Amino acid sequence: MIEVVGVTLKEGGKVYYFSPNNLQLKRNLTVIVNTDRGLQFGYLDTDVIEIEESKISTPLNIVVRIATKADYLKHQKNMADAHDAINICKELIKENNLKMKIISANFTFDRSQLQFYFLSDTRVDFRNLVKNLASIYKTRIELRQIGVRDKAKETGGLGQCGRPLCCKNFLTNLDNVTINMAKNQNLSLNPSKINGSCGRLLCCLKFEDENYEKCRKCLPKVGSKVKTEKGIGVVTSIDILNGKYKVNITDDGIIEMELNKHGSC
């Protein structure tokens, strides 16, 4: 086991693990961390915790220090300058006649790198754009193409359920979502019902799928024959979360069965 802390480099962002470096750290503190890109301002998402060392896939970077007021003010200036950089980059994109849309930008804490995130339907030759930006900001420039899911996470909004988008609100890792997950949950495969505002399959299908899998194990499959108090019948439908299923009995029509009354996992 190894001691680590979970850190996000922006609010609602992906959680990365760092060595606490013998500092007195607790959740919600702001810190300066050492990353492969240089020093970064971050938010502690966890207290100091222990995890298996095998779960750390890359060398563990350290928390350099707890952020000071001066660090926070510098971080605020970096964010303001990055916002201005977006507008400048948009003008340069027009001048270079490039088919790309800038979504966001950020400086590392030490301003050793300025990174832009953009959307594009095709590959873009942005070498000249990088030169233009480097001549203005005198730092390393990186442009990274992202997908529509990442765009939705950046911009936010409300989902079909009326709540803030999961990816913006709490979902830090955008895992692959498959159509089988919608089938496992007995959802209509109508794209308007199972696609999110990004146009891709709903993220909630992924993190809810494990619970549905557990519940489905307790239930018979549709079309299978089961024995009931009124005789043998065929399962016509299942209600996964409520633990119920309907059985067609030839003489008595369709009856409803409940796991808590007639069986359990």
Task: For 123-177, write each residue's pLDDT tens digit.
Answer: 889 999 999 999 999 999 999 988 777 777 777 778 888 888 877 777 766 677 8
- How are beta strands 38-44 and 101-107 bridged, if at all? unpaired
Phi, psi of 140 (to 5 degrees): -70, 130
The mean pLDDT value for 103-122 works out to 92
- Mean pLDDT across the stretch 12-35? 90
Whole-number Å distance between alpha carbons of 251 and 230? 9
Q: What pLDDT, on the 0 to 100 scale, is given for residue 252?
A: 65
Residue 43 is predicted with a pLDDT of: 94
In this prediction the pTM is 0.66
Mean pLDDT on 217-222: 82
Q: Which of 2-11, 20-29, 157-166, 248-257 is predicted least confidently? A: 248-257
Question: CA triplet 239, 244, 248: central angle to 5 degrees?
Answer: 95
Average pLDDT, the chain: 85
Task: Please state the φ and ψ torsions of residue 87, each to the nearest 5 degrees.
Answer: -65, -40
Confidence of residue 263 (pLDDT cuts 50, 70, 90): very low
Residue 1, pLDDT > 60, answer: yes
Rounded CA-CA distance 251/190 in Å is 35
CA–CA separation, 168 and 89 (whole Å): 25
Q: How far is CA 59 from CA 7, 145, 197, in A?
A: 15, 25, 36
pLDDT of residue 264: 47
Output 94 or 55, whichever has higher pLDDT: 94
Q: Nearest CA to 85 among 99, 100, 106, 71?
A: 106
262 — pLDDT class (breaks 50, 70, 90):
very low
CB contact at 8 A, 204 and 152: no
Tell whether the torsion through CA atoms of 254, 256, 261 and 265 is positive or negative. positive
Closest residue by Cα to residue 199 from 241, 150, 245, 142: 150
